[in-house]
Structure 1
Amino acid sequence: MRVCILFGSLRNSSNTALLLEPFVDELKRLGVDIDYITLKDKHIEPCTACWTCQNIFENPGCPKEDDMNIIYEAVLRSDCIIFATPIYSWYCTPPMKAVMDRLVYGMNKYYGDSKGPCLWEGKKCGLITTCGYEIEEGAGVFEEGLRRYSKHSNLEYIGKLAVRDIDGKKYFQNESAVKAAREFAERVFKSL
């Protein structure tokens, strides 16, 4: 079993990173292999809708030469993709958005000269997020976007772990947050 964590925070020791620590520890304890990709450290060009990828069915087929190929490979070999991002202005961070745009076209061959395959069909995906507002107000828009993204991509959305920032970094290391992260890891494990 393999989980690909796409970490979208712009800070290494962010609230989202702190929430991921017990999640990752629990997955490792359960024997899950993990690809943990810090997106801010990668060179990822935005999708420019050139549509080249849409007529290449055997792989993502993006002509851009950047670090997205590392991400495509990790996603393709995974059983589950975790989109881990803080919420900025009701949505994910810019590096996460760039990756999601590139994935949705590189993996879904729906728009070319003829309809092609969905390269990641049937994979599971989930959300780990932190935000400053009440969870529904802060993370609800992005979660709904990810649900629609999953449906469009034939992914199985397995849910979210969302924690609100109440008192800064300490909050993401308290007993409640750690317990929630470990329980979400178990939920991911059971879904695989």
Structure 2
Amino acid sequence: MGTNKSIILASGSPRRAELLQQIGVEFEIVPANIDETPAPNEQAADYVQRMAREKASAVAKEFPSQVVLAADTSVIVDGEIWGKPLDRQHAKVMLAGLSGRSHQVLTALAVFYDGDVALELNVTDVSFATLTAEQIDSYVASGDADDKAGAYGIQGAAGCFVKHLNGSYSGVMGLPLYETAVLLGKAGIMLEPANE
């Protein structure tokens, strides 16, 4: 990893951990425990950025001398924030609502360093194919919709639901790698090719 310093990932997401490993960042996982309820009339972009900032700040209180990376992802349909499904029936409703149309995936990143938080927002447009009830039932039964914003993970079987994507594939997964590298660079964490 060269001169990389270790950071703290304020997330329990296995996908975010995989993506950080992919770009050669050493990290310790310390999930943030915050209230993730949207404020009344809060705009989606404001919400995800507030969540990322609050996650980073909450964990930074415990580790003030460390670089802390947090992220928050929401699926936006007609301006409405769609988080994680409440249960599998809710996941089916969500997927039916995404079927045959476009939505946005917003991922906000926050990096705490030197007593301050830097933010980046990634916006990706995603178009879904028209899904049959059987496709939705089968996908939800697989468990892959559980605990994922919008009830799908693009890196799994739901990848074949995506007709078109304009933006960041890794952003849809929950950690846009370009913006992550930029923010970590500002915090003094330089990413290097892994083939040393």
**Higher share of residues assigned strand:** 2
Give the TM-score normalised by structure 1.
0.35
Give the TM-score normalised by structure 2.
0.35
**Higher share of residues assigned helix:** 1
Q: Say which structure, 1 or 2, has more relative contact order (CA 8 Å, 6+ apart).
A: 1
